[in-house]
Structure 1
């Protein structure tokens, strides 16, 4: 399994609207792509800025290529992203998932 990590920064006042836009665009496209195993959406508000990180999980690099196109290391952007994002990172990061710690496997706390 492969994790694809994308990061973006928006103004804190636009964060909720941008997350709604992500749900209509990228997150919807993730879900429609064969080999997608879901996505975690993280956000961190710091003063007037909001950092957003998407960690999507994929069966293979072929599945990622089906979503992202010929160069899977390139970020995928949608027409209105420029209205929200302060920076447009050109590349994403991919990591092979080698282990998963499942909280269901931990002993109950006393």
Structure 2
């Protein structure tokens, strides 16, 4: 299993609307891609901005390529990102996942 990490910042007043937009774009598109295993979104306040981290989980690097294109190190951005005054990272990080478990209940 592999994890793909992407980060961005936006003004705090755009945080909730951008997260909604992120669900409509990146999360929806990844979840419709074969090999997608799950996603997590994290947010925190950093220097008066909202930092948002999206981590998606994949069965193989080839599945990430089906989503992101041949150069999987490039971030996949969407047309209305600028509406949220987004400061996106243009590259993403990939990790081999050693442990993937959640306790529910």
Taking structure 2 as the reference length, the TM-score comes to 0.90
Counterpart in 2 of 1:48? 48
Q: Are residues 1:26 and 2:64 paired?
A: no
Shift of 1:103: 4.0
Alpha-carbon separation, structure 1, partners of 2:8 and 2:15: 11
Larger radius of gyration: 1
Query: Residues 34 and 15 of structure 1: is their aligned pair in 2 closer, same or farther, counting only changes over 3 Å?
Result: same
Unaligned runs of 5+ in 1: 105-110
Q: Are residues 1:4 and 2:4 paired?
A: yes
Shift of 1:101: 5.3
Shift of 1:9: 0.3
Matching of residues 1-110 of structure 1 within 5 Å: 1-46=1-46, 48-100=48-100, 102-103=102-103
Shift of 1:88: 2.6
SS of the aligned residue for 1:73 comes to coil
Alpha-carbon separation, structure 2, partners of 1:54 and 1:85: 17
Shift of 1:70: 1.3
SS of the aligned residue for 2:22 comes to helix
Alpha-carbon separation, structure 2, partners of 1:43 and 1:95: 20
SS of the aligned residue for 1:76 comes to coil
Shift of 1:100: 3.5
